[in-house]
Chains A and B, each alone.
Chain A
């Protein structure tokens, strides 16, 4: 797994500004917690625009697809903003896991603040 370390939200600012000034709604997913072997530290972030554009990453590519689905659900109002857990050990874990075997917790919310 190739891990590209970035500055999280810092790297997303230009895209976030672009989307916001175009009047597009945006959701942001940030890593808040990892357990065991995790690919990224807290603060790693990705953003999804209402029309499905994606920037940033929160793992080595293992869970990004599922995060996009959840982020769009938050924007559509089908899901409350909140914590999403990916991994093997957790009850609330999604079917998608991390190949490194760790658990990763993300906070997904609309950027409406």
Chain B
């Protein structure tokens, strides 16, 4: 089986796959095929280059991005290492839909989060039932703005969500929070973050218990309060803390989530 056969089979099966090709430098046309589980075949000409590009291709694949990246011939990536080194240009092409982020609540934090999520390659949908807030004009950076309640949104499209996707519930209002959390828990979405202080969180947990959301395995999926404990204050800083938490959860790295701490969120 050739690399092309392997690639064609993955594309036809809708398995996410990335193909790295040397387009400039030594070994032009050299190829590395990278699957979503990190396994790879082929070579770009050096084992260390293969290792580094496979790692980067996996991140590109998770974001559903394609583009040209630069390395040294042995996988060097830092500017200091690249001085006096011929550059290898690699085209990484991803076959995967971009991950989705659904943001519930059309508030100031939403605009900042949508902006940061776009930078990371998400397809962003903003959803709020209030027509005067959920407007294109307020969220020009979003791919889509929906005026609807969380329930219908999840009924209609919840089955699309996968482990690569994220649901962020920023509404601060139990009317919206509770159905949004229930809707998200019924999907396979990889990240569910819910905004609010620890007091808000405690009250929300009570309301969720009242409507029958009490399974510990479900509750363990909720990142609430949302974000990493980096002392974020502004909407933009909070957006960074949320996106950083999503990355850390995906990569399995230890980073201090607000959920797992105690005391006030803002000092």
Q: Which residues of A contact B (CB under 8 A)?
A: 7-10, 13, 16-17, 30, 32-33, 41-43, 80-83, 107, 109, 111, 113
Contacts and interface: CB of A to CB of B under 8 A. Distances in A.
Contacts of A30: 91, 93
A109 B31 CA distance: 12
Nearest to B23: A107
B152 interface: no
Contacts of A8: 93
Contact of B31 (A17, A32, A113): A113
A83 B24 contact: yes
Contacts, number: 51
Interface in B60-118: 66-68, 91, 93-95
Given A30-B91, A113-B2, A113-B42, 20 more contacts: A9-B7, A9-B11, A13-B11, A17-B8, A32-B23, A32-B67, A32-B68, A33-B67, A41-B66, A42-B67, A43-B66, A43-B94, A80-B28, A81-B28, A81-B29, A83-B23, A107-B91, A109-B29, A111-B4, A113-B31
A37 B136 CA distance: 24
A82 B68 CA distance: 14
B17 to A, nearest CB: 11
Interface in B1-50: 2-4, 7-8, 11-12, 21, 23-24, 28-29, 31, 42
Contact of A113 (B4, B23, B68, B93): B4
Contacts of B67: 32-33, 42
